[in-house]
Amino acid sequence: MFFRLSCSAIVFLVHPLAVLAADNGPITSITLSSGGLAEVVRKADIDSDGLIRMTIPLEQVNDVLKSIVVFDDAGAVEGITLPGPSPLAETFKNLPFAEEDLQSPALLLARLQGTNVRLDRAGSQTEGMVLGVSSRNRGDRGSVDVVSVLSNGKIVGVELEPDTEITFLDEDIREKVVKALSAVGSGKSDGSRSVSLKVTGEGEREVAVSYVVPAPIWKTAYRIVTMDDDTARLQAWAILENASGEDWDNVEVTLSSGAPVTLKQRLHDLYWKERLEVPVDVSAGYVPPMDEGAEPSSDTFRSERKLQRSGLADRNALPAPLAEAAPSFDAFEMAEAQVGEASEGAVTASFQIPWPVSLQSGETLSAPIVDKVVPAETVSVFQPGSGSQHPVAAILIRNETDTSLPQGILTVYDRTEGYVGDARIGGMPSGESRLASFATDKKVRINQTREPDYRITKIKVVNGVLTASVLEKSTVSYVIKGAPDGDRTVVIEHPRMHGWKFSSPQHFEDTPTHNRLKIDVAEGATETVSAVSEKTISETFALVRTSADQLLDLSNRAPDPETAEKLQDLAALQSEITQVTRRIEGLQRDKAEETTDQQRHRANLAAVEPGADLYKSSAFKLTQSETRIEEIDQQIAELEKREAEIRETLGEAIRTF
């Protein structure tokens, strides 16, 4: 068999991914996870070779390799084979020509020098060995590629025109060119990989294959209609997209909510272990030095060398009006939603769409997953840090379904007024409550005042160290002016102070960040809510070094009169010590000045003749200065003696405190 190549263009056939996806077998079920993944289950046939053949989009190959599972009671999985991440590059790695050489016969023949070919052009035929390719200038007709062939001992040049046919006579070269062209053709549609799963067992049969691939996150949109008995009709609708690249036909769809750990890894890539490269030793060997003989004064010579080396519906059928552009909102009821089963797992809640889903690729579906009458109380919520005096209207919803509800957006309808606002609602486990705030309640006004307190509850003195147990107390008063046209239930979210003990007559629950207070405010009434936070801390003071002002402050906060009096006595002693110390410091400054004057007077005496007027004057002043220094020394001694007496009295007072 000969391989014939024309000098005209080479055409490759590309199969679109949508066509390849039809070969995988129908999808039977899909579970969409809130973690951004989809578990796909599809039917698959095992052929006579024991293979399940599928075509997988290239961007999904890593996840399929990570997660694929075969469900088959009659056999076992042996393994999976598929082309590598770069089959084109791997193909050309061992070929005598490159991918770009297939762009023209001239380039290919130039790389296949020495290959036997037959060239047919214009009825003439030349057979021989390729020597090379050159370009020939034909004047006004431009240039043409010419292949030189060694034929029967002669070098013949054949122009490579569009009608020139080239036949490779060497079987090895033919196979390599065919292999290269096939690889290039496959590479043009390198958006997928053909996967083969080898399964043991006898006979052709149908099995199920499951794997997990990326998918858009499904969303939840709630509708709620408030009623008069502190209940509300709650519907949850899921919004999902078919972004799988193929149409869904009667597929069972389940929605899973939770917080799964989702990982990915490039399992389809090639990784090479790094190895330490050891250099080849090309250094010169050791050459002993030439002996030049010993010196007369030396017996031996010594040489030294140095070497260096890381989500069910309990539909109570309560009327819940809902209509668009209706003259009376009460004239309509919210239609019941057809919802499927819901189940609660250890870490996820699942909601099943109760009808087979047919959805074209790229389309969006919104379907109800919850329809339930739940406890729901309308309240006015005040947050002190919001910067507003008005609370926000909210619904306190309690999840009395059997499963956790996912987070989502909430549209709020009032039974008589219609649409009143939107809210966000967080994930809500069964049995828990959530506040959904949807509007500002401008008819209610709340003011707050704060009164701090800092009292000593106990004082203990050991070894001259006073330890005071101090009660820090913060009292916040919220004055609520009610709405002029109706009663309100007000919830105050008081900021939680961790490490502090909280108390309030209106305290009813806590969140991780707030203490919640609840009070009913009648129409037009004014109510006051108090929130008290307190904690006890310890303060220590070394009494011998504590200032009079600090001691007086402690006496003012002392828990009993006796302790206060003792602290006042200590303060008086410390105050007297401070005064004596200051007087001593003043006298020492005076002495320093007199000493300086003495030095000046002595200098004058040394500079003039005895008997001179300046000499006499300096001598008199020197005598006066000496007398003044003696008086200062005496006063300092008396004051130091007094300071010692006071300190002794202070020490005794501290010891007997």
Higher pLDDT pick, 5 / 106: 106
Nearest to 240 by CA among 223, 221, 217: 217
Tokens of 254: 């389940």
Which one has a higher pLDDT value, 43 or 123?
43
DSSP string, 348-378: EEEEE-SS-EEE-TT-EEEEEEEEEEEEEEE
pLDDT confidence bin for 331, thresholds 50/70/90:
very low
Contact 198, 77 (CB under 8 A): yes
pLDDT tens digits, one per residue of 605-617: 888 888 788 888 8
Structure-model confidence comparison of residues 598 and 17, the more confident one: 598
- Whether residue 293 is predicted with pLDDT greater than 70 in this model: the reply is no
Q: Is the pLDDT of residue 619 over 50?
A: yes
Helix 548-556 and helix 561-607, axial crossing angle in degrees, nearest 10: 170
pLDDT band, very low/low/confident/very high, at 430 (cuts 50, 70, 90): very high
Average pLDDT over residues 191-198: 85
Q: What is the DSSP code string of 560-572?
A: SHHHHHHHHHHHH
- CATH domain 3-26+42-213 topology: SH3 type barrels. (2.30.30)
Look at residue 96 in the predicted model and tell me its pLDDT.
86
User: Predicted confidence band at 275 (pLDDT cuts at 50, 70, 90)?
Assistant: confident
Q: Please compute the mean of the pLDDT values over residues 400-418 and round it to a whole number.
A: 92
For residue 485, pLDDT beyond 90: yes
Given its phi and psi angles, is residue 510 left (phi above 0), alpha (psi -120 to 50 degrees) or beta? beta
Pair of tokens at residue 272: 């090479």
Confidence band, pLDDT 50/70/90 cuts, at residue 5: low
> CA 34 to CA 240: how far, in whole Å?
11
pLDDT at position 314 over 50:
no
Question: Who contacts 645 (Cβ-Cβ below 8 Å, separation ≥6)?
Answer: none
245-274: average pLDDT: 89
Q: What string of DSSP letters covers 202-225?
A: SS-EEEEEEEEEE-PPPEEEEEEE
Q: Write down the pTM of the prediction.
A: 0.67
The confidence score (pLDDT) of residue 274 equals 86
pLDDT at residue 594 is higher than 80: yes
pLDDT at 597 over 50: yes
Confidence (pLDDT) at 87 = 67
User: Measured in Å, how far apart are the chain's first and last C-alpha atoms?
Assistant: 118
Domain ranges of the chain: 3-26+42-213, 219-260+313-440, 445-542, 548-655
For 112-137, what is the mean pLDDT? 90
pLDDT in tens, 156-185: 999 898 888 999 998 888 888 888 887 776
State the pLDDT at residue 284. 65
> What H or E segment, with its residue span, contains residue 41?
strand 37-46
Whole-number average pLDDT of the chain: 85
Q: What is the pLDDT of residue 241?
A: 96
- Is residue 301 predicted with pLDDT exceeding 50? no
pLDDT band for position 23 (cuts 50, 70, 90)? low
Q: What three-state secondary structure class fits 462?
A: strand
- What's the mean pLDDT in 303-318? 34
